[in-house]
Chain A
């Protein structure tokens, strides 16, 4: 069990930079997820921690000690690969025992025929067998120990890969998109199992995924990456409620956040499509802004409706997706506004849209996220009534 510290990690493949200036500390026993779109560098980063790739700059410390000069197996890490990387020619037992036989037996004791001559081997193998069985019992794969990987289902293979990692009793568990090869239902089930495993073992987990749902539901903290840098590091709640960057806001949360262009008006307020919103921004007038509003914060109402304290935009319902418990609405904004907004509501939108499918979209100013032209969050912002009060009013419709 150990903490992991990354200091100024950089990596380039030839002239192409893939990672730059990564500073990250994972506390002992924490579940940290590296999340981001494909190509953001998260897999490269985890491989650097494992020692499979050398970093171009910076240093890695595990448990307080620098591991830069250590080979992967000397770092006391275990890794679960996306493809599981189970040795296809060995049975499950041998797969799980391999980490132990590699470290405990020397070369002669491992050679195919010569090993029969070693007396120490029998004792060592008995120990190893005990350990493997213990782990297999924990993961409920004891009945599979005699099978070959090709005879296992996806979920079973995943457990064997986990078992092989657990058997080493590592200081850090590294997981590179372990659930992406499973079907949706199994993925949901394994999410819970992994989270419970983490709680049981109490070991540091570093988890890589491109699925924001996994990141949000399983982690203690999340590091969202983009183009080789960490955009935001924090608890899942923080990334959702206070995204540091418009990219973070767009990645976390489904349906994706609505993003609208705005600017700072003459009175220091946000001007959106010519409408002055009661949000004060301490920036010079005319500064370009990006406004983010979550679909859950937008309430549709019959066209023309207004409510005190809420802003309203009119539009035409283009399409509604029926999810059973809720509807997702795609509404084309009416002039002078442009663009499409997504909103989530319970109940049938047709009821209030009428024949002309015209709707009003209401939202509270405090629910808006304000970003500058580069996408960074602007925090010195004052909005009118509290978000809670605004939403209550909207729901009453």
Chain B
């Protein structure tokens, strides 16, 4: 009997009638705001993909409907891929990003290690220069670099696109922070074992700094895949165009006409990074958040 009464005393936690209502209302309001924001964010993506599937007649009708009635995907994408060498752009993007990243890491890692762990004359001066470089956006040295490359006849080459980015002061700064936390004892033990400094950097420190290097790689690839300013300046040969530049060319040539293949091209260009993001979300957010810490 006593236990039965006790069982009746069991209540639902903290929520009485009015506060349950309050919680529901709050939840509803919160999600309304979030969903409205999400609609705003997703609008171009959805519209892009949907338009790329529509036929011209549908696109140009004034009363719009979301889902295409006639699928014109093959023609739109076909046009996009052939009229302008989209795949070529993607390939260029890949070459450029890979090239830049490889040199960036090769140059930045030893320098960061030296700044973090070794004592050598001019170390502080070099670090001050690195800090200064962090404040200088690439659009600033662009002008003289352009002139220099022009006089050397090196415009319109892969080298021209990649060259200003070979040195990433951000990478040096980032890796230096990371290497500073690396235990000195391991390095000293390696020295005692007879390892040269060069080996220490590449065979011991780098493998354990993988998270930092991976995160930086993400940042670098995203930044340079999406870069327009510099390629626009040094390239006017369409065969070398990177994705953003290619998109610009395509948009130029198709102004006012074929929105179907325009959006198809946009989809093809945006897809790689978005897919990579969906697959490796954590690394992406880490890497890109570092631009903020920059």
Contacts and interface: CB of A to CB of B under 8 A. Distances in A.
Question: Are any A and B Cβ atoms less than 8 Å apart in their complex?
Answer: yes
Nearest to A48: B13
Contacts of A342: none
B14 A71 contact: yes
Nearest to B16: A69
Contacts of B19: 69, 71
Contacts, number: 34
Nearest to B11: A68
Contacts of B16: 69
Contacts of B14: 51, 54, 68-71
B9 interface: yes
Categorize the interface residue count of chain B: 10 to 19
B10 to A, nearest CB: 5
A57 interface: yes
A68 B6 CA distance: 14
Main secondary structure of the interface of A (DSSP, over half): loop
Interface of B: 6-7, 9-16, 19
Which residue, of A7, A51, A66, A68, has the highest number of chain B Cβ atoms within 10 A? Answer: A68
A54 B10 contact: no
Categorize the interface residue count of chain A: 10 to 19
Contacts of A7: 6, 9
Contacts of A54: 12-15
Interface string A43-60: 000000001011111110
Interface string A69-89: 111000000000000000000
8 contacts: A7-B9, A8-B7, A8-B9, A54-B15, A58-B10, A59-B11, A68-B11, A68-B13
A59 B9 contact: yes
Interface in A163-198: none
Contacts of B10: 8, 57-59
Nearest to A21: B6
Nearest to A67: B14
Contacts of B7: 8
Given A51-B14, A59-B10, A69-B16, 8 more contacts: A8-B7, A54-B14, A58-B6, A58-B10, A66-B11, A69-B14, A71-B14, A71-B19
A102 to B, nearest CB: 18
B9 A56 contact: no
A317 to B, nearest CB: 41
A291 B13 CA distance: 43
